[in-house]
Structure 1
């Protein structure tokens, strides 16, 4: 067998109708391949993804959720054995693979072992009947099929008692169509894509929080002013103190006031965490992946700006964190940044994607989404360690946020 190759790996959330994460599909490609995405699923690469999930580990990559993995023909036909982790992974059978006798036998064997099978890119044909009998669900590509075909295949799946996952849900219109098809789960860029209305007035509570975000971006904010800003919102102050007294920080004494928190933790960390708590408040009524993306991009940009010396770590963190603010508030980003005091490089990165920080943010978003075909190979090797570290930090931070801000829990 060939030596395993270094891999890029990313996760794309699969959500239920309420926007809660119910699983992740693992996307991957090898550095050494051409710029196009994975086409020939190299056996060594697939083995690395299935058995090791790189050095991140399955728990870090998908938390307690199932991991959806595209199955290569070699595993499907039994040439290679899968590890016995049937409760943690869902195997997706490629829709472009012919339903040969060997593959039907292989799928039956995997189902008997306890693996859940999903028919990916489902398009009905008589030869798929044996697979429908053992499958746990089907996936329909909302962007690849005509509406009549989508309706036909969804109805057929429902008649077979199979849940339908809608993939390629790129915008709100496609989400509405998928819901009309009675899909039970949804996957696509919609969950981080904004539904924007120019000139929209923010609700009163959001306007107050946006003003707070504005003040928090001032690096010269005095301790007294920071204390005043936080304590005027009792819920925010309570959650900040819960964070300060959490086991994760292990401070030598209990923190009783916001001023104590500033003195013990430093104004920079308090400003950063207060900003995270404000964004979590915005995210309460939105799909979970929005806040996940904001956190992951913030940490990834923070790491990369430090490594590449193109901006301050704070500027990188802010650019990544605010990159989903338009989706959270439903207001175009150029209107939002007019209401927040941001460094020029951060403003330029968010509005136009220009400048060194803007280009870094665009690469970060592309990597996170698994759009590796748009990135040079040399970028992939540099972005991967930052992404891996950001995933770990994101999940640790989400756990902390879930403790101090219950509305942000999975």
Structure 2
């Protein structure tokens, strides 16, 4: 098997159902390039109830992008406080945005070029990448995958109530693993509605069930995926397409930064 997975091989293999750090290390040593499993969404043993000082600006940015009407002057001020974060954001904008004739070199230029809705997503992506840089890259990939899957699925009427926050709901669902702080502590620091908090903390409501569906996919629990499709009234074929597209997009996006 290890010979088949030799790093020189042109084939790339996906290791499914990675549940522990030992399994992750063994699979990586064996030559697997892609990984999927519940291990990546598990926080380490929680030892703190507050965000560490190095992540305060990141949390302040998350607080801003969660608001219905984002104050982009405030966002620009926060981004300017951290050179590394500012650089990462501009890298995102220039790498992912198509058909840029002139490189974007400032936050204000990015706002004019992208518009508020798209820039809000770019800020969220950059902040998530920034706070997860000490974690396995697969965790960041997973956050992107969940975010994109929620956004793709939110076009259905059942998800109308919070469709504008679908991307953030998916992204925030792994913040506990990124920050090693209980998710209920994190969401209390963010200006989210009670129903969004319940979706994240208790997996209640349509988006809570959608996150459960995504987690079944991560565990390769195909019966669970089928059951949640039926519960949500979604076509299994449509969901499978969205899941595969979200996985492709997350891998492509994370490779750019």
TM-score normalised by L of structure 1: 0.52
Aligned to 1:216: 65
Q: CA deviation at 1:199?
A: 4.2
Query: How do residues 39-54 of structure 1 correspond to structure 2 at under 5 angstroms?
Result: none
Q: Report the secondary structure of 2:159's partner residue.
A: coil
Aligned length: 240
Q: CA deviation at 1:399?
A: 2.5
More strand by share: 1
2:154 to 300, 305, 308: 305
Say if 2:209 and 2:228, in contact at 8 Å, map to a contact too: no
* Cα pair distance change 1:189/1:241, threshold 3 Å: closer
* Cα pair distance change 1:282/1:354, threshold 3 Å: same
**Aligned-partner Cα distance in 2 for 1:197–1:377:** 32
Alignment root-mean-square deviation, CA: 3.2
Aligned to 1:288: 137
Q: Deviation digits for residues 332-369 of structure 1, max 9, x if unmatched? A: 10011011112333211110000111111111221233
Aligned to 1:390: 246
Matched, 1:269 2:118: yes
Q: Report the secondary structure of 2:67's partner residue.
A: coil
* Cα pair distance change 1:368/1:382, threshold 3 Å: farther
**Aligned-partner Cα distance in 1 for 2:53–2:228:** 46
Q: CA deviation at 1:233?
A: 1.9
Residue segments in structure 1 that go unaligned for 5+ positions in a row: 1-21, 23-65, 68-85, 91-164, 403-410
Matched, 1:334 2:184: yes
More helix by share: 2
Aligned to 1:60: none
Aligned to 1:354: 204
Q: CA deviation at 1:178?
A: 9.2
Q: CA deviation at 1:307?
A: 2.5
2:44 to 195, 198, 201: 195
1:369 to 207, 219, 224: 219
**Aligned-partner Cα distance in 1 for 2:40–2:228:** 29
**Aligned-partner Cα distance in 2 for 1:320–1:366:** 14
Matched, 1:321 2:171: yes
Q: CA deviation at 1:316?
A: 1.6
**Aligned-partner Cα distance in 2 for 1:279–1:333:** 15
Q: CA deviation at 1:392?
A: 2.4
**Aligned-partner Cα distance in 1 for 2:95–2:166:** 26
Aligned to 2:233: none
Matched, 1:88 2:11: yes
Q: CA deviation at 1:246?
A: 3.6
Q: Deviation digits for residues 40-97 of structure 1, max 9, x if unmatched? A: xxxxxxxxxxxxxxxxxxxxxxxxxx59xxxxxxxxxxxxxxxxxx74167xxxxxxx
Q: Report the secondary structure of 1:375's partner residue.
A: helix
